[in-house]
Structure 1
Amino acid sequence: MNKEILNKYLNNICSDEEFEEIVRWIKLQSRSKEGRSWSFEQWKKFVPELKETEKKKYNTLLDKIHHEINLRNNKGKRERFFQLSVYEWLRNAAAILFIPLLIVFFYFHSDYKFEKHEFSEVKIDTVEIIAPIGSRAVLQLSDGTEVNLNYGSKIRYPRNFIGDTREITLSGEGYFNVAHDSDKPFIVKTKKMNVIALGTEFNVMAYPDEDLVSSTLVEGKVMIEKMIQCGKIETIGVMVPGQHLTCNLKTGKIKSSKGNIDKYLAWKDDKLVFDNEPITGVVKKLSRKFNVDIELADDVKKYTYTVTFENDPLYLILDLMTQITPIKYTIFPRNKQKDGTYSKQKIRIEKQE
C-alpha cells in the first residue's frame, strides 16, 4: 500500500478496491516493524483540508478533549507523549468518516501504544456542571429537560442520551422539569437513592455532607429506589404529586409526608423558607447561599425558626434571628492567604448572656 491510497482513504475518496487493499494491508503487513513505523509517520504528517464549518465544529470538540487531557497532566513522560500525539492526531483527522478503523489499527499495532486506562478515562461525551457555593445554575439537557441547581451542587450527564434510559448523577440539590419520553425513563442518581421518571417535575436533595436524601414531587409520578449492600437496589415505592420523601442514610429509615411542599422548592425562586427548622439546618442553608462558614455554640442548637426570607442580605437575616431567639453573632475578619486570596468569611453564633 502506498501513501497516495492512504491519503485518499483518510479523505474518504478511495474506491472500493482501494479500501479493500487497505484492509488487506492492515491484516497481513501492518504487524511488521516496517509497517508500524511507516503508518505512524503517515499518521503524524496527515493534514486534511477542512471546510470552515467543520473547523469550528471540531475545534470546539478538540478544546474539550484537550481540557480533559490537561486534567491528567504531570503524570510522567509517557502520558505527556499521549497528550501531544493524540491532540495532534485528532486536530488533523477528526473530520474523517472512517477514523474508527484507523484508531483501532494504531492502538493495537503501533510501537507507540497509549496507556489504556488513560485513554478510556477521556469521556468527551460527559458534561459536568457545578453551581459553586454562593451561586445557582440553570441548564437545559439535550432531551429538553430543564434543571435548576442549588448552591454548592453538581450534576454530571451525557451530552446526548444514548440507550434505553436518560441517566444523570446529582450531588447537592436540583429541581428537574423532565421532558416526557415514554421510551426512555429519566433517572437521577445520588449516592444512595435513585429517582426515576418519564416526564414530570420534582426536586432532589442529596448533599454529600448530609445524612438525609430527599425527593419532592410536583407533577406526574416518580419511582424511588434505594441502594443497599452489595450494589443491590431496593424499590421503595411510587410517589404522587405533593409528596415529600426523606431517606436517612445512616439508619435507613424512610419518612414520607404529603401536603404543603413549597418550602422544599422555594430555593429555586431565591427564597429561604424555614418551617420549624432547627438552627443547624438554617445555618447549613445560609452557609451554602452566602459562601460563609458558620460555627454554632452547643447551647444554641435547641432553637428552631419559622420564617421566610426573600433576597435578604446575610446580616439582615442574622439580625432577625437575634430578635427571634436569644442569640448573638460575631463576624471574624477574612485573612489574606499566601497565594493572595482571602479565606472564607467566618461567623460564630452563641447564646446571649
Structure 2
Amino acid sequence: MGKDTIIKFLNDRCTKAELEEIVRWAGKEAFSKESIAWGSDDWNTYQGEDYLGDDEKFIILFDKIQGKINTDIPQEKPGSKSLSLFATWLVRAAAILLIPVLSFLFYTLSELRTESAKYARLAVDSLEIIAPINARAVVQLPDGSEAHLNYGSKIKYPQIFSGDTREIRLTGEGYFDVAHNPEKPFIVKTGGLNIKALGTVFNVLAYPDNDIVEVTLINGKVILEQNRTNKKAQNLGYMVPGQHVNYNVKTGVSSSTKGNIEKYIAWKDGRLLFEDATIFQVIEKLTRMFNVDIELTGDLSDCMYTVTFNNESLSQILDLMTLATPVRYRMLAREKLPDGTYSKQKILIERRR
C-alpha cells in the first residue's frame, strides 16, 4: 500500500477497496520501517502551525481521527443500510487501529527529539572565558561564585554544576570568591595541582610556562591535592588564612609563607605591589601584564624593588625603574610579519654606565 492511500483516507476520499486496504495495513504493516519513515517525514515537514509543540501536533492528528469516528460516517441512502454499516465499521476499525500507531510514532519521535536536544545542550555545555590582553575580567559562575581573571588568563567551566563537585579549569591567574556549599566542594584544577574549597576566598597563579603554582588563601579553608594522571588525586594538606604556598608541579616540592599577602592579590584592584622583589620578578609580571618581550642584558641581580604601581602605563613603570636603580631601557620597533600582523613589542634593559 502506498502513502497516497493513507492521505486519501485522512481526507475522506478513499474507495471501499482502499478502505479495506487501510484496515489490512493498520493491522499488519503499520509498524514497518517504511510506514514509520512516512510518519516521521510528515511529522517533521508539518507546517500547519509553526508555533505548536509536539504535544499539540499530536492532539491535532488525534482529533482528525476522532472526527472521522464521530462525524465522517457515510450517510445512509435507501436500500444501502448494510453497506453503510459495513463502511461505518471499516472507518471505526481503521481509526481505532491507527490510534496506537500514532501513539507509537509520537513516542518514538519525542524520544528522538529529546535525545537531539540533550546532545545539543552537551555541545555548548562547557564555557571558556578569556581575559583580553591588557585587561582583567570578572566572571559570575553558575553557583553564584565570582572569579576575577588577570591579564590573558582563562577559565573553563560547565553551564550547570552537576554531580557532587563544582569543577573549573584555570590557566593563568584567578581570584575566587566561592559561594558556600558544604555539600558540593568547589575545585580549581590547574596543570598539576587541585585547590578544593567549600566557601572561601583565595588566589591561584598557574601559568603553563611556569613550573610553580602559587596559592594564596585570604579567608576560609582550602585543601591542596596533587593532580596525578590516571590516578586519584593525592591530598597534600590544607591551608589557613594568610598563608601563601608555592608548589613545583615537576618536583612535587612546596614551600609556604604566612603574613602579608596583599602583594599576591593587589592585581585584582589594578595594582602591582613589590616588596624586596628582584628585577627578574618585576619583569615576569610586566611581561604578562603588557604582553611584551623584555630582555635583560648584563648582571642585574642586585637590582631590588619595593614599590606599588597603580594603573601606570608600561613606559611610566620603566621610567620609575630607571630612577630607582642604575638601569636604562630601549623600546625596539615592532616588526611586520608575513601575515600582516606585527610582532610583540620588544624592550631591552641593561645596566646604566
* Inter-CA distance 105–258: structure 2 relative to 1 (3 Å threshold): closer
What is the CA distance between 1:246 and its match in structure 2? 1.1
Post-superposition offset of 1:326 = 2.1
Question: By how many angstroms is 1:158 displaced?
Answer: 0.8
Q: Residue 243 of structure 1 aligns with which residue? A: 243
Change (3 A) 1:342 1:42: farther
Residue 224 of structure 2 corresponds to 224
For the 8 Å contact 1:156–1:169, the answer to whether it is kept is yes
How many angstroms does 1:313 deviate by?
1.3
2:111 to 101, 106, 129: 101
Code of the residue aligned with 2:297 in structure 1: it is A
Please state how far the C-alpha of 1:212 moved relative to its aligned partner: 0.7
Q: Which residue pairs with 2:79 in the alignment?
A: none
Equivalent residue, structure 1, for 2:276:
276
1:204 aligns with 2:204: yes
Distance in 1 (CA, whole Å) between partners of 2:107 and 2:173 is 41
CA RMSD of aligned residues (A): 3.2
Q: Could you say if the C-alpha distance between residues 258 and 35 of structure 1 is closer, same or farther in structure 2, counting changes exceeding 3 Å?
A: farther
Q: Residues 297 and 104 from structure 1, CA distance in 2 versus in 1: closer, same or farther, beyond 3 angstroms?
A: same
1:91 corresponds to: none
Aligned residues: 273
Q: CA deviation at 1:233?
A: 1.5
Query: Looking at CA atoms only, which structure, 1 or 2, has the larger radius of gyration?
Result: 2
Residues 289-300 of structure 1 aligned to structure 2 (within 5 Å): 289-300=289-300
CA distance in 2, matches of 1:97, 1:194: 45
Q: Structure 2: how far apart are the matches of 1:233 and 1:106? A: 35
8 Å CA contact 1:40, 1:106 repeated in 2: no
1-structure distance, mates of 2:297, 2:223: 40
The Cα of 1:191 is off from its aligned counterpart by 0.8
Give the TM-score, by structure 2 length. Answer: 0.69
3-state SS in 2 of match to 1:299: coil
Per the TM alignment, residue 299 of structure 1 is displaced from its structure 2 partner at its CA by 2.4
2:342 corresponds to 1:342: yes
Residue 152 of structure 1 aligns to a residue whose secondary structure is: coil
The alpha-carbon distance between structure 1 residues 214 and 97, as it changes in their structure 2 partners (threshold 3 A), is farther
Q: 1:128 to 1:244 in 2, by over 3 A?
A: same
Note the 1:248-267 alignment, pairs <5 A. Answer: 248-267=248-267
Within a 5 Å distance, the mapping from 1:188-199 to structure 2 comes to: 188-199=188-199
Q: 1:86 maps to what in 2? A: none
* Contact 2:40/2:109 (<8 A) preserved: no
3-state SS of paired residue (2:299): helix
Q: Which amino acid aligns with 2:275?
A: D
Q: 1:105 to 1:274 in 2, by over 3 A?
A: closer
Offset at 1:325?
Answer: 2.2
1:1-353 counterparts in 2 under 5 A? 29=32, 32=33, 34=34, 38=38, 41-42=41-42, 45=45, 49-50=50-51, 101-103=111-113, 123-228=123-228, 230-301=230-301, 303-353=303-353
* 1:185-239 superposed Cα distances (whole Å, 9 cap, x missing partner): 1111111111111111111111111111011111111111112364331111111
Q: CA 1:49–1:168 in structure 2 vs 1: closer, same or farther (change >3 Å)? A: same
Amino acid at match of 2:112: L
Structure 1 unaligned residues grouped into runs of 5+:
4-24, 52-95, 108-118
Identity %: 51
Name the structure 1 match of 2:82.
none
C-alpha separation between the residues in 1 aligned to 2:181 and 2:116?
40
Query: So what's the TM-score if we normalise by structure 1?
Result: 0.69
Corresponding residue number in structure 2 for 1:55? none
Letter in 2 for 1:333: A
Q: Is the 8 A contact 1:194 1:225 kept in 2?
A: yes
Range 325-334 or range 38-47, more displaced? 38-47
The code of the aligned residue for 2:268 comes to K
